[in-house]
Structure 1
């Protein structure tokens, strides 16, 4: 197999003609892509479109790490695979598909489960790593290894109708995965995944391709990667929003409002004030929580719809709110929307729903039913 260290041939440049003509990319970008080594962890819904775009863009060497086999339920969103691939290792089926797309591509299949013990060895030679997995121990193993190795990490996630994308770059001043989510809580809690709550297939293809774009920008030096910013997709409405990600995780994040409401009463629970309503903004597919406090399950998508359509009378704006979600960005976005709509007082809950379920484990007659306008 070629090491792709030679200058691109005329045939190669002809295939990449639109990149050659692209201002800021050009022939130097084509050459850099051809000599790049990209490792994709996970050959699933996000990994398949990412690999397809990278191979078509003539990235020189692609390493695929995955220990799974193709199942029929994968075929709706894992676009490299066909019926005839069912039962085959994903890394082998993906390698064959990419070779048909571009015969000279160098694909290194690694049919192994990446973990904390082998992550640095598996990722050591990559110029950039793309993590498309949905397993938190694997995600943190990848993030830790990239941080130790000084390798840029393109990180994405899709569950149900919601997606996230960001880039973690080497450097002490840059955010890490631990700034996006709480490590201990994510490792302790059983997170929802595509098998339990489903996934919108077009959103997977969109974000997987976007992850490939981030990797290409990094290896070609042709643009600014998404460092310090989390891009959030709402697949139900097609809207995309970008949220800042700080390098130091805050214990509490306050959203300024016109009428802040300090806590006048002592409370044995420092995270929740007695007068606050807990607003659970996870997707509608998540079950309501049974907790001993004022509670409403109002998905972020519903909040965004009401704000966009001017139906703010359907939002609980006249009482203090504490917003909870599974990871963080949804809660921050919801808090911003509610503050802009005129909420009396709104803040996000440190630790999100995992912390909430630990605090309130008993059924409650005070728990309110899911908001009547919530789409089911």
Structure 2
């Protein structure tokens, strides 16, 4: 793919020595290093994921780093937020991060943003950057960042960690096959419905793994080398130490329209999908059908198909999570609208389970059942 930025001025002798190990790589070389030095990257949060990402981006020679963080260092941060030390407790994370990063790269330009990013200010904060990395831990911020990057047309390297599990992707809807966070999870959960790291815990070293991968994705995008995680979700099961990759594709925006405004469904479902009528027909033929609900726990308040097995999408990507899924007959995965169920079905087929996804999700099933009863 094309690199994000133009090369900066020729390297000085000092820079050539400093980045010599990059210059030895045929895929990088001097021009790529000059692109890094000219790049403007914004990192959301100087915390668990932001710490390793910022450290490696600074060491790699990225010329300008924006940092968005309005928090202070807390003792509980030290287990994973390696930018900060015990002497920094109570200090602004921006001040602590700036000092540490300048110790690594004295010429680094740092643009601090000591404010909380919101839907109202997101585009103003992120405008002017070539690339954004998001390692924040609140859903409001994550969706605000993704929406703003989509509006501005800039790529977003996204990472998420909780307990022993992690997910990483690159969201860039203007690129071929690119998607946004909303293609994976259409809407954020209600406040307080999903545990935070402060409530569920997180393995500190796992944030180092994920933050380093995020930094690598940023370097690849800036320099144009390799194949970035566009249209792909990387899932890490830290306990089993297994990486799983699942494809992503843009969802049908019409799926989120009210029923009266949505277009009529196509006559034939996709080969890997089943609509409600097809599922009913399969049941009538005596086929064994297992409904797999891949929604998050907070979504279950709206109801579920009777007899469903509930395994959210992230555990479906792991061997341990799949252990709860029966392997007899056909597994029909469903979510609220379809994208997560499609991913789950593809993953299950990849490990030898006959799986389909329910077209239209749970609302379509409820509508079909109501029509049958009337």
Same-fold status (TM-score > 0.5): yes
CA distance in 2, matches of 1:144, 1:31: 30
CA distance in 1, matches of 2:214, 2:23: 21
Q: Cα 1:342–1:120, aligned 2, differ >3 Å: closer, same or farther?
A: closer
Q: Cα 1:8–1:329, aligned 2, differ >3 Å: closer, same or farther?
A: farther
Alignment of 1:232-271 (within 5 A): 232-249=235-252, 251=255, 256=272, 262-264=278-280
Alignment of 1:312-327 (within 5 A): 315-318=325-328, 320-323=330-333
Q: Does structure 2 conserve the Cα–Cα contact (< 8 Å) formed by 1:123 and 1:146? A: yes
Q: Does structure 2 conserve the Cα–Cα contact (< 8 Å) formed by 1:261 and 1:320? A: no
Q: Does structure 2 conserve the Cα–Cα contact (< 8 Å) formed by 1:261 and 1:345? A: no
In structure 1, the partner of 2:161 is 158
Deviation at 1:54, TM superposition (A): 0.3
Deviation at 1:147, TM superposition (A): 1.9
Alignment of 1:1-376 (within 5 A): 6-169=9-172, 171=174, 174-183=178-187, 185-186=188-189, 190-249=193-252, 251=255, 256=272, 262-264=278-280, 277-279=290-292, 293-297=306-310, 304-305=318-319, 315-318=325-328, 320-323=330-333, 334-339=344-349, 343=353, 346-347=356-357
Deviation at 1:200, TM superposition (A): 2.1
CA distance in 1, matches of 2:51, 2:111: 15
Q: Cα 1:351–1:20, aligned 2, differ >3 Å: closer, same or farther?
A: farther
Q: Cα 1:294–1:96, aligned 2, differ >3 Å: closer, same or farther?
A: same
Deviation at 1:7, TM superposition (A): 3.0
CA distance in 2, matches of 1:196, 1:166: 24
CA distance in 2, matches of 1:164, 1:328: 19
User: In angstroms, what is the RMSD of aligned CA positions?
Assistant: 3.9
Q: Cα 1:345–1:7, aligned 2, differ >3 Å: closer, same or farther?
A: closer
Deviation at 1:232, TM superposition (A): 1.4
| CA offset digits 1:156-189 (Å, max 9, x no partner) | 1112222111112252753222212112x53677
Q: Does structure 2 conserve the Cα–Cα contact (< 8 Å) formed by 1:178 and 1:249? A: no
Deviation at 1:222, TM superposition (A): 2.7
CA distance in 1, matches of 2:270, 2:352: 15
Question: TM-score, normalising length from structure 2?
Answer: 0.76
Question: TM-score, normalising length from structure 1?
Answer: 0.76
| Secondary structure class of the residue paired with 2:73 | coil
CA distance in 2, matches of 1:181, 1:307: 19
| Secondary structure class of the residue paired with 1:347 | strand
| CA offset digits 1:245-295 (Å, max 9, x no partner) | 1123485997849xx99333799xxxxxxx854545689xx7997977324
Q: Does structure 2 conserve the Cα–Cα contact (< 8 Å) formed by 1:317 and 1:343? A: yes
Normalized per residue, the structure richer in helix is: 2
| Secondary structure class of the residue paired with 2:95 | helix
| Secondary structure class of the residue paired with 1:316 | coil
Q: Does structure 2 conserve the Cα–Cα contact (< 8 Å) formed by 1:175 and 1:228? A: yes
Q: Does structure 2 conserve the Cα–Cα contact (< 8 Å) formed by 1:165 and 1:230? A: yes
